[in-house]
Amino acid sequence: MTGIPLVVAEEVAQALAEGRAVVALESNVVTHGLPYPDNAATAAKVESAVRAGGAVPATIGVDGGRLLIGMGEADIERFASTPGIPKVSSRDLPVALARGGPGATTVASSLVAAELAGIPFFASAGIGGVHRGAQATMDVSADLIQFTRSRVAVVCAGAKHILDLGLTLEYLETQGVPLVAFRSDDFPAFYCASSGLRSPHRIDEPDVVARVVENHWAAGNRGAVVITTPPRPEDAVDSSVAEAAVREALAAAERDGVRGNAITKYLMRAVDAVTGGRTAQANMAVLISTAEVGGVLAAAHARHRLLP
Question: Which of the residues 26, 47, 77, 115 is marked catalytic?
Answer: 26
Question: Which of the residues 47, 87, 115, 160 is marked catalytic?
Answer: 160
Buried b (16+ CB within 10 A) or exposed e, 232-271: eeebbbebeebbebbeebbebbeeeebeeeebbebbbebb
214 as an active site residue: the answer is no
- Rounded CA separation 90/79 (Å): 19
26 as an active site residue: the answer is yes
**How many residues are given for the chain?**
308
- Rounded CA separation 238/291 (Å): 22
What is the set of active-site residues? Answer: 26, 160
